Amino acid sequence: MKRTKKLLNISTILILLLSFIPNVQVQAADISFTVTPSYVNPTDVSKTISVQAASGTFTPGSSHPVLIKKGTNETNAIEVNLLDSTDEQVNMTIPPNLSEGTYAIRIGDPNGQSVDGDGYSYYDVGDIEIRSGIITSSVPLQSLPNKYDSKPSITLTAKYANLTIEQTKVNILDANNTVVDTPNITNISTIDPYTKDLTFSLSTGLESGTYDVEVVTGDKTIVKNNAIVVRGTPSISLPTNFSLNEGYSQKELVVTGQNTGFNNTTTVSVLQNGEVQSVINGSPTIVDTNKLKVNVNSGLTAGTYDLLVKTGVEEASTSFQVKQAQADLKKAQEDVQVTKIGQSNGSINLRIVGNTTTNFDQSTLDRLKVLDSSDNEVTGKISNKSLTGQEITFTLSRDITPGTYKFSVYSGTKEIQKSFTIVEPSISEFVLNTGLNMNGDLPEGYVDHTVQVTGGHTDFNDATTVSVQGQTSQTESVKVQDKTSLEFTLKSGLPSGTHTIEIDMDGDSNTTTDQLTHDVSVLSPSFGSVSPSTVVNTSDQNVTLTVTGMNTNFTYTQNLNVLITDGSGNQAGNISNVTASDDNTLTFDLVPSSISNPGLYNVKVNVNESGFQQSIEKQQALTVDNKGINKLSRTEIYQDELAGSPSITLTGDSTSFTNIQDLLIDGTTVDSAQYNVSTDTELALTLSDSLSEGSHTIRIEESSGDQYETSFLVKPERTINDVSKSAFEFDYATQDIIVTGQSINFALSGNLPELSISGPEQHTLSAQSTSDNNKFKFSLPSGWSKGTYNISAEWKSGTHSGLTLPVGTIDITNKYQSLYVKKDSAETSNVIVNEDDLSFTLQAYGVLKVDVNQHDLLTNKVTWNITSGSDVVSINQNGQVTILKDGTATIEASFDGQTTSVNVTVNNVEEETNNAGSGSPSPSPSPSPAPTSGSDEEDETSDSNSVEFDVKEEKLPNGKVRNTITIDDNASDMIEEAMNNKQKELKLDFTSNEADELAISLNKDTVEKLSNGKMGLQLQSKKGSIKLSEKTLNQFGEDISINLSEVSSSEAASIEQDLESDQKVNVKQRGETIRVEADYKGQTEVTIPLGDLDITSDQKNLGVYIVHSDGDRELVSGKISYNEEGEATGVTVHTEKFSTFTVVELDQEREFFKWNTRFDVEEDKVWEVNFNTKLHPATVTADYVYVMDSTGEKVPTNVSLVDGNMIKVEPLKDYHSGETYQLVITNDVKSLVHKQMIEPVHMIFEVK
């Protein structure tokens, strides 16, 4: 309500008073006046104000004082209460209800020095301040550390307050206006007539928080809000993802504090495991109470450090990492680690590859050197050095004495050493591709063949030569495949004996360090025996004979030829089924009756294949008789069988075994207990375990004097002699193991065993044949546990059925000496996570036992396990860690019997993940954000703030009325009051304004005051309501204007027509259409009134149709607002630009217009949907995010996650013009902390 004040004209007063006083002439002269006191409070109506002057100045009984407020018209003088007057003093009191300000005191007096326009005299005696007491000190008066332990002395400055130690009291008030302390006042001092300083001693023990100071003097109380701050628990942080690289130069750290009070007493320390590191250079530079800078000298090694900041009793710490400077030694053109280099007369091109933790520069090149095992420099071996980025390339001379060496390279001040070994070149594999199983030897009579040589640390090249020592022209066609592989042809013709193959890598016979040799033997074959050695020619049944040889190659060909000849060289006998059991054993069948003449016969074996010829012969090897022993049940016995006392059955022809006089083996009589005669033509002989390997002759002597002989063969013991590899390091790859046997031809059917494995695990494996009849192989699967395994071979069928042989053992040992973990290429055992690091990856590495300088990446091989804090983090097999909430956790990596762990500390990430209240991901489409449904929290604002604003009324050409309201300095007190009441927004109610159009403007200062007070603004009117958040106001630095009005009936009809044509769903208009215009862009909440519409409380399908001033049109979901009686009053939407707003009702459920319906969308439109938190990548898929056409069919799109919190939906082919589609995001999309969207999203869009 506008106030009117009674005005008192001083001229009128003087005329009335002076008409009774004689006219006294007062001479003009300078008179000094003293006004006491210099100020009074508006409520001090009883306080005497005295004006003192020289004696005779005033006319007793005729002095009449008035007050004139500075800046007002003199005609508005205010009458005061005159108490009394003398010729030198006038005493008065002020009237009630004076507004605050500076007032001039004018005393009408016949002796006055000045004369007004009506001719009356007066004195202007001075000014007096009519003011309420205030505390002028800036807040906070003092910011105290958490749990401060001494009584701080605090001084405040008060103005217009009559402070005295005797009458003044100080109270400390908490947020509930409860007195928590009444400190002692230690001093009050006067600064000027209006101002005093008050000093008090605050008690200890105040909890963290903000406190008001209340000063009480007499009946006057002055309160200073937010005067004292007791800070919360202090904390400090370094810039996001801050770390140092090992070898760094002096570094300035910028430390940001929270609840800190940095000052010139602040100290900074760096600690590791509680030990102070002497690296802080000088004192910190204090930027403000929450920010400082400090220099850290170089010298910290890789690891995790604590930064400790102390200010008095207050201390806070944070951690940072010094990342290990690491580099790899590799060949110039190969991405493999180099640990061994072969000695030669040549050179090798190498590179040292740094990473993000190294700082290679020109000084690095200058300091690159080779050190021996005693750290002495080996000079003159490095040349052609160059640097590209963090990669050094150079040439190393290889003419270095074999031994262990290291490259020394510097990254800043950090020396990195890469060890390597110079080894003598060697021949690791020398393969004679003869097809002959002779253990690397050659048979006499061999033909030209290819030799394959594999070298170890060799440098084979085009100059490499191959020769046979002492022979000429025995090699040709040398072909070098690479530095470690070559082949050549060894020509036929070498005589029996041992020959040395010489490989000269540089082809220069004068250099010797690069010469390699390998011995090859040429062996002569010989005949062993024939068993049995006697046959009886009276039999027509085949007899199987066994021939043994030495250095023979029976298995080389299928075309073995056996000849039996008499003494004259005539061929005899019907021979068939010649079969090689192994290279030195064959069998053949002979029909004894095919040799008609008894006697001694020669046996000859020929091998002839592809030019290779081999022949062995034994004279008088076979005896043919017309009676005797014509068959043995077994002609071959294995030596290992003798322990079981095997027996063989002898079958005779025309014999009389019942009349045996003696039975001898190799001339030694056999005890009769060892044989059993069943008939004249059959007996069973038990063999002694003392029989040696080879052919043995059995002779039977009958009592009639007849003697018969035959022979049998004791073959070598069946054994497994060798396993190609028996020692493995954990993490070995699947590979074939070659097993070498004796006396078993593994190529023959039924001769492959089954393998049984026992040890830490039980397995059964199958054997497979090889090109070598004496060998078989089996595949050793990867993944067996560490330990010793016993292998045995079992024959379940065939010639060797029932035989079990031990194969040997396989030892699987630790490959790695230890494990460690890296994050961001730096080794770590502690990870501190902030809001920018909600997901990260750990890499696991193993340090090899055989070479501690070689480290293998094992991330996908180790077993990751969370030993504590499984509710804080999760980790997958790829080492990707996902943050779930604040807290601590320990992640363990295990592999190859080794274990390492990483401690993870998660700080302040819940604030980020909870931005949407519940922590659920909240999406908004680009370019404009999706409307939110508003807050369901209790409204913490007060009732409308009451103040009267000047209103300017204007009649528009169309006959309507516009009211303009300006919000400027007139709102200052109201804003301050709202701040004191801790309101979150200033609510101004203009609903009583009946104008057709309401124009509201806020000046820049008002906007800034609201923003600085962290307050929003709500404007209520009959045309609608506007709400601007503190965040929105904070974006503006200028005046802002907002207009609210109704649209004309013709424009409303046009909007309704557009609405019907735009929508593909049934829509009808409900309620008014309003226009909102503003000169800013920013997130704004607009509420459109429903008027008298009857809206039920469960109404779900109300929306708002918006036509923007730039032509864009949207159909937006709205939230219904209700009053205290539960009546619907409006529909609220969010927008960033201003337009006309029409309330509409759809015939569909609310889910189908959650977001703005878009029109005139481009055919190749790519939707980008931003979320308020990072999303879990596994949930951003085409199953959960897709586009549907009008028939409900999914449209092919590419769905991707960008920067962790934006979903990008791109059509694989253009949308169809004029068609309507829906973008769908289901609530299966989750945040990184596995929180689900509250509701699915559907957005309709129409392609232009």
Q: Mind listing the pLDDT tens digit for each residue in 973-1022?
A: 788 777 777 787 888 888 888 888 888 888 888 888 887 777 888 888 88
The DSSP element (H or E) to which 511 belongs, if any, is none
> In three state form, how does the secondary structure of 1189-1241 look?
CCCCCEECEEEEEECCCEEEEEECCCCCCCCEEEEEECCCCEECCCCECCCCE
φ, ψ dihedrals at 969, nearest 5°? -65, -20
Instruction: Return the bridge partners of 1068, or none.
Output: 1145
The pLDDT, as a whole number, for residue 960 is 82
Q: Which residue has the tokens 């020396």?
A: 415
Same domain as 679, residue 776 = no
φ, ψ dihedrals at 883, nearest 5°? -80, 135
What is the rounded CA–CA span in Å between residue 644 and residue 647? 9
Model pLDDT for residues 642-658, shown as the tens digit of each residue:
999 999 999 998 899 99
Instruction: Tell me the pLDDT band of 1234, cut-offs 50, 70 and 90.
Output: low
Same domain as 1020, residue 1076 = yes
Model pLDDT for residues 390-411, shown as the tens digit of each residue:
999 999 998 899 999 999 999 9
The tokens for 59 are 């006319």
Same domain as 1032, residue 939 = yes
Q: Cβ(325)–Cβ(245) under 8 Å?
A: yes
- Residues contacting 391, CB < 8 A, separation 6+: 351, 352, 353, 354, 360
3-state secondary structure of 61: coil
> Domain total for the chain?
10
- Residues contacting 217, CB < 8 A, separation 6+: 133, 161, 162, 163, 164, 167, 168, 169
Amino acid at residue number 1018: Q
Over range 1064-1082, report the average pLDDT. Answer: 71
Using the 3D structure, point to which of 1149, 1174, 1201 is the last residue of a domain: 1149
The pLDDT, as a whole number, for residue 981 is 78
Residue 519 lies in a domain: no
Over range 1195-1207, report the average pLDDT. Answer: 88
Residue 827 lies in a domain: yes
> From the CB of residue 148, how many other CB atoms can be counted at a distance below 10 Å?
19
Same domain as 886, residue 862 = yes
The pLDDT, as a whole number, for residue 988 is 84
Helix count and strand count (H, E) for the chain: 7, 105
Instruction: Tell me the pLDDT band of 51, cut-offs 50, 70 and 90.
Output: very high
Same domain as 256, residue 216 = no
Using the 3D structure, point to which of 130, 151, 180 is the last residue of a domain: 130
What is the rounded CA–CA span in Å between residue 458 and residue 342? 6
What is the rounded CA–CA span in Å between residue 151 and residue 181? 12
The pLDDT, as a whole number, for residue 219 is 79
Using the 3D structure, point to which of 230, 247, 278 is the last residue of a domain: 230
What is the rounded CA–CA span in Å between residue 349 and residue 344? 14
Q: What is the CATH number of the domain that holds 888?
A: 2.60.40.1080
Residue 895 lies in a domain: yes
What is the CA angle 928-934-939, rounded to 5?
140
Residue 298 lies in a domain: no
Provide the domain limits for residue 1199. 1161-1247
The pLDDT, as a whole number, for residue 1088 is 84
Residue 359 lies in a domain: yes
Within 789-926, residue ranges assigned H as helices are 910-913
Over range 904-914, report the average pLDDT. Answer: 61
Q: Cβ(269)–Cβ(276) under 8 Å?
A: yes
φ, ψ dihedrals at 980, nearest 5°? -65, -30
Residue 501 lies in a domain: no
Say if residue 943's pLDDT is above 70. Answer: no
Top pLDDT among 102 and 1082 is at: 102
What is the CA angle 995-998-1002, rounded to 5?
145
Model pLDDT for residues 573-582, shown as the tens digit of each residue:
999 999 888 8
Same domain as 1006, residue 933 = yes
What is the CA angle 1043-1044-1046, rounded to 5?
135
What is the rounded CA–CA span in Å between residue 841 and residue 830? 13
Q: What is the CATH number of the domain that holds 345?
A: 2.60.40.10
| Helix-, strand-, coil-residue percentages of the chain, each rounded to 5 | 5, 50, 40
Q: What is the CATH number of the domain that holds 1219?
A: 2.60.40.1220
Same domain as 345, residue 216 = no
Say if residue 924's pLDDT is above 70. Answer: no
Model pLDDT for residues 556-597, shown as the tens digit of each residue:
777 889 999 998 989 999 999 998 888 888 899 999 999 999
Same domain as 771, residue 740 = yes
- Residues contacting 510, CB < 8 A, separation 6+: none
Same domain as 469, residue 369 = no
Residue 494 lies in a domain: no
The pLDDT, as a whole number, for residue 948 is 64
Q: Cβ(575)–Cβ(590) under 8 Å?
A: yes
- Residues contacting 267, CB < 8 A, separation 6+: 283, 284, 309, 310, 311
Model pLDDT for residues 1118-1166, shown as the tens digit of each residue:
677 777 666 777 888 777 777 787 887 765 543 334 455 676 788 999 9
Residue 499 lies in a domain: no
Sequential DSSP letters for 133-200: -EE-SPSPSEEE-TT--S--EEEEEEES----TTTEEEEEE-TTS-EEE-PEEEEEEEEETTEEEEEE
pLDDT over 70 for what percent of the chain? Answer: 89
Q: What is the CATH number of the domain that holds 114?
A: 2.60.40
Amino acid at residue number 64: H
Same domain as 1211, residue 1197 = yes
Say if residue 688's pLDDT is above 60. Answer: yes
What is the rounded CA–CA span in Å between residue 848 and residue 825? 19
Same domain as 710, residue 723 = no
Same domain as 1101, residue 1056 = yes
